Amino acid sequence: MASLTIRFPVRTLRAALAALTALSLTLSPARAQQVLRDAETEALLAEASAPLIRAAGLDPRNVQVLLIHDDSVNAFVAGGQIVWIHTGLIAEADNINQVQGVIAHELGHIEGGHVIRSAEGIKEATGISILSLVLGAAMVAAGGAEAGMGVLAAGQQAAMGKYLAFSRTQESSADLAGARYLHNAGISGEGSLQFFKKLQNLEYRYRVRDDLQDGYSTTHPLSGDRIATLTSLYEQDPAWKKPVDPALEARFERVKAKLIGYVSEPPVTLRKYPATDNSVPGFYARAYAWHKGAYPDQALGATDALLKAVPGDPYFEELRGQILLESGRPTEAVVPLRLAVAGTHNNPLISSMLGHALVATEDPAHLDEAERVLRTALGRDRDNPFAWYVLGTVYARKGDMPLAALASAEQASLSGNAGMAMRQAQTALVALKPGSHDYLRAQDIAMAARADMDQDKGKKRK
């Protein structure tokens, strides 16, 4: 699984998403979501964001821009140095410069420590709520029930207003920080303004209520206010009319097409990218649409056209391998996936798919290569539950049950299954050499799983 594969987020992300809305970029609050991993998309976003990350005083090696599988137009940060972007935002964006504007805004939240500081706004609002509860309860106890209820209601409204004002301040701060990053990176802010105008149109489309138009009752300044504030800054910037890098823009059009092909229903994709569209994005989108619709021959035909247009492209080889693998032809998938792995310098997501294909051939001669490929992939990206699952299968087929159990424990831990992680780690500990690296790792997993299980029990008792 490498190309456009959905994964559930790890425990820390799920916890952060549960508390999020204040740091969302746009109209829709984040829900518990699925992470979508794709090697080509992540490479594009990393390159497009690198100058902005450096302009924010951060290290590009420590910041990630990842996708959430959701058709709403949204982006957010939820702790750590990860910018999450919804697939719907990529589909809505007209060019990579618009996406860079969004990323710059979200980096402003990271640099400003807004996820951590949001606790300050919550604390202030909670203080008002508690005070109103105390005063209201006292009045009710003294016989003034109606007045007491009025105090309670007024207190809750004041608390909400206090928190929303705090949130809007953070959003405005992130807007200005994003403008600074774009300036320092020499990237035009025109895309940022274009995207805010899109959001403004969405506000009109979804008929933001008249009583919200003053911006008071929303967590974000309305887009009209943001446009007015940022226009003067961007238009005076030397990079205002600087064109987008054509190569970067061409890669964005490819990524946008493949995402639309993957997340949309095939008829929708085929209307947007009809057979008369002989561009690379057109063939790319249709390849995913045909594959999703269970028409492997048409999907492979579109992939052949892509490889004819750009011979040896590793991501097109990856797609060809994925179609063959998922169509029940793993032996045929191995060659294009090897080419994709080599062409992307052992990208861990694509390497995981190659490992899967090697195992799926059911040829014992491929097990050593599968183990080597998967261990290399996990050496670069340990947070890959699918790769751990396949590696566990490799160990089991080779008869190494302790390492198979350890790999299963890693997978269960990353998937949030504490009970399974505990059982598999304990199984591994029975046979692993005490004091070895694998033994200590199994101990760590078992301890973390036990802590998670105890925490869950405590929550249930409450």
**Inside any domain, residue 26:** yes
Please give the residue range of the domain that contains residue 196: 114-235
Domain final residue pick, 207, 235, 263: 235
My answer on whether 20 and 133 are in the same domain is no
* 30, part of any domain: yes
Given this model, what pLDDT does residue 236 score?
Answer: 86
Same domain, 164 and 223: yes
Whether residue 89 sits in one domain with residue 25: yes
**312 inside domain:** no
**Residue 107 confidence (pLDDT):** 92
Long-range contacts at 329-338 (CB < 8 A, ≥ 24 apart): 330/356, 330/357, 330/358, 330/360, 330/361, 331/361, 331/363, 333/357, 333/360, 334/358, 334/361, 334/366
434 lies in some domain:
yes
Whether 102 is covered by a domain: the verdict is: yes
Check residue 127 and give its pLDDT. Answer: 44
Q: Are residues 15 and 25 in the same domain?
A: yes
Q: Are residues 35 and 130 in the same domain?
A: no
Whether residues 82 and 183 share a domain: the answer is no
Q: Are residues 108 and 147 in the same domain?
A: no
- pLDDT by 10s per residue, the chain, length 462: 344 544 434 343 433 333 333 233 333 333 446 889 999 999 999 999 999 999 999 999 999 999 999 888 888 887 778 899 999 999 999 999 999 999 999 998 887 654 444 444 434 434 444 444 444 444 444 454 454 444 344 444 444 444 334 344 567 778 888 889 999 999 998 998 888 888 777 766 655 444 444 433 343 445 567 777 788 788 888 988 898 899 999 999 999 999 999 999 999 999 999 999 999 999 999 999 999 999 999 999 999 999 999 999 999 999 999 999 999 999 999 999 999 999 999 999 999 999 999 999 999 999 999 999 999 999 999 999 999 999 999 999 999 999 999 999 999 999 999 999 999 999 999 999 999 999 999 999 999 999 999 887 777 665
Q: Are residues 143 and 203 in the same domain?
A: yes
Residues 82 and 118 grouped into a single domain: no
Residues 12 and 95 in one domain: yes
* 411 found inside a domain: yes
Number of Cβ within 10 Å of residue 224's Cβ equals 15
Q: How many domains does the chain have?
A: 3
In the listed set 94, 112, 130, which residue is the last one of a domain according to the structure? 112
**456 lies in some domain:** yes
CATH number, domain containing residue 105: 3.30.2010.10
367 part of a folded domain? no
Of 235, 252, 276, the position where a domain reaches its end is 235
Say what the pLDDT of residue 454 is: 86
Whether residues 119 and 225 fall in one domain: yes
In this structure, the answer to whether residues 149 and 185 fall within a common structural domain is yes
The predicted pLDDT at position 22 comes to: 29
Query: pTM above the 0.85 mark?
Result: no
